[in-house]
């Protein structure tokens, strides 16, 4: 089973690249951002609670996203693997994911980390905000808060995964196709080392 984490700050292109990766490698895309937005669209209680935090650029509680991921893993027993996009975002979430995947005997094979400068992240998100209708994409203060949440709560995960020798760095500030080529090179290295 090929389980990959796409890691990086908001707007670094995780969602964009996840789409390309799942279609090339026939994997299942698990985006906690998309799952939360679906809950908001369906106006569930969980969605309404999450919306209050997301609109401010804050993370939703670990227990909420871990529960959603667990349900999706259980709902896809015959998947060839998963691309985790926007999850985990805290060390607690990463530990929970390791435990869940241990149960499925299918650990994370690689964590692909996208690097993009702060100026470019803000530019991309505000550009998307002009058409996306996402409240968290429309205001520079909220975007800055999302990046701050990333720096304080999510970035420490890089150390967690480099400690497991799974972290692979990729420059994300290039054309979408160029970034995709580099990500595929990293995935192919992982596949080659597994088949040895
Ligand atoms: P997400 O939905 O995960 O949103 P994101 O970080 O903005 O997205 P991403 O990095 O995928 O960027 P994308 O490809 O779309 O999270 C939203 C919110 O949900 C969080 O703030 C949080 O509140 C909550 N949440 C989600 N998961 C959570 C968790 N695990 N725990 C707690 N809370 C959670 O790209 C952005 C833009 O850049 C697009 O317009 C794209 O077209 C453009 N772009 C992409 N690649 C480009 C390139 N190479 N060049 C130019 N533009 C590019």
Calculate mean pLDDT across residues 9-29.
Answer: 97
Question: In the predicted model, is pLDDT for residue 2 greater than 90?
Answer: yes
Active site includes 146?
A: yes
Tell me whether residue 83 is in a domain.
Answer: yes
Tell me whether residue 34 is in a domain.
Answer: yes
Could you tell me the pLDDT band of residue 194, with boundaries at 50, 70 and 90?
confident
Residue 17 CA, ligand 1 centroid: distance in Å: 11
**CA angle, corner 124, sides to 121 and 127, nearest 5?**
145
Tell me whether residue 172 is in a domain.
Answer: yes
pLDDT digits (tens, 9 = 90+) for 4-16: 999 999 999 999 9
Q: Which domain holds residue 85?
A: 2-117+165-191
Tell me whether residue 59 is in a domain.
Answer: yes
Active site includes 134?
A: yes
Can you give the CATH number for the domain in which 94 is found? 3.40.50.300
CB 20 within 8 A of CB 13: no
CB 47 within 8 A of CB 41: yes
Tell me whether residue 106 is in a domain.
Answer: yes
Counting ligand 1 atoms within 8 A of each CB, the residue from 9, 16, 68 with the most, and so the one to mutate, is: 16
How many domains does one find in the chain? 1
pLDDT digits (tens, 9 = 90+) for 108-166: 999 999 999 999 999 999 999 999 888 899 999 999 999 999 999 999 999 999 999 99
Tell me whether residue 152 is in a domain.
Answer: no
Alpha carbon 114 to chain centroid, angstroms: 10
**Contact 54 CB / ligand 1 (< 6 Å):** yes
Question: In the predicted model, is pLDDT for residue 196 greater than 90?
Answer: no
Tell me whether residue 37 is in a domain.
Answer: yes
């Amino acid at each position: 089973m090929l389980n990959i984490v796409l890691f990086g700050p908001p707007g670094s292109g995780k969602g964009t690249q996840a789409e390309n990766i799942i279609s090339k490698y026939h994997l299942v895309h698990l985006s906690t951002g998309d799952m939360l937005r679906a809950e908001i669209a369906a106006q569930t209680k969980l969605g309404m609670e999450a919306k209050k935090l997301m609109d401010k650029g804050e993370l939703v509680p670990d227990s909420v996203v871990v529960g959603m991921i667990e349900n999706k893993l259980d709902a896809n027993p015959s998947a060839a693997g998963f691309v985790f996009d926007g999850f985990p975002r805290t060390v607690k979430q990463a530990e929970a994911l390791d435990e869940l995947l241990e149960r499925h005997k299918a650990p994370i094979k690689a964590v692909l980390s996208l690097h993009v400068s702060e100026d470019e992240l803000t530019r991309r998100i505000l550009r998307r905000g002009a058409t996306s209708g996402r409240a968290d994409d429309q205001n520079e203060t909220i975007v800055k808060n999302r990046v701050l949440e990333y720096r304080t709560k999510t970035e420490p995960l890089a150390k967690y995964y480099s400690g497991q020798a799974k972290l692979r760095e990729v420059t994300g500030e290039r054309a979408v196709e160029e970034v995709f080529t580099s990500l595929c090179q990293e995935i192919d290295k992982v596949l080659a080392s597994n088949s040895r």
